[in-house]
Structure 1
């Protein structure tokens, strides 16, 4: 690998990593900024609370992706990736196998590697 190729690859990797971190920050901002908008009665149920939190994070992340001029199909894809863990975990919760706190914790833990996997799968979109 030539020095120029190595520098280009390093630059792309830094941009890719920075974009991932930007999306995580946007998600945290959305989680805290939008949480007060939801009625307490809604978020008292763990299943609804998980979906509300996923929505808060997704709205902010999607907005950031739009600012970064990602295509709508990629924004929709990443948004789906953020809901997927919660939707999958809610089924065992409804059958009494998982507690609400387990759904919330596992959903967040699973979400981050899934986001990374979506970015790696579409890396050409996220390199720049």
Structure 2
């Protein structure tokens, strides 16, 4: 037995207006498309900027830095963050949203360094799970503030 009363003119069995369902579907579609757009921007950033890092580090004699998993993960996160931030700023997102998404890029790797150092994860597993957790963290940031991402 419910103690709340339905809104005037509506009964509990009255379905929601079609407009609100349509609006929700549209907002969900916009969020998913924005998420996929950010993933593509991250991939482009990673592919486009990796050769730049390789060239610069090799020129400085530090090419071996890319062989260590920690700097490699952070450089990949940086490349993805640059690509994603460029698209987010083009879409007129604020710096706060960009910083939240940047945190979603770096934190999963940083957290997974500890189990890797403890011998519980290989460097390949750290990179794999860092990317998986990064995607989850991005979705989480979008879920916390959907109004930021639903307008695109």
Task: Normalising by structure 2, report the TM-score.
Answer: 0.80
Q: Deviations over 1:45-97 (max 9, x none)?
A: 11111111111111110111111111111110110111110000112223333
Gaps of 5+ in 2: 1-15, 58-62
**CA distance in 1 between partners of 2:29 and 2:67 (Å):** 40
Moved over 6 A (4+): none
Instruction: Report the more deviating stretch, 101-110 or 5-14.
Output: 5-14
Partner of 1:17: 32
Computed over aligned residues only, the root mean square deviation of the Cα atoms, in angstroms, reads: 1.1
Partner of 2:18: 3
Partner of 2:64: 41
Greater helix share, structure number: 1
1:5-84 equivalences in 2 (<5 Å): 5-38=20-53, 39=57, 40-84=63-107
Task: Normalising by structure 1, report the TM-score.
Answer: 0.94
How far off its partner does 1:107 sit? Answer: 0.1
How many residue pairs end up in the alignment?
A: 128
Gaps of 5+ in 1: none
How far off its partner does 1:9 sit? Answer: 1.2
How far off its partner does 1:3 sit? Answer: 1.4
Rg: which structure is higher? 2
Partner of 2:118: 95
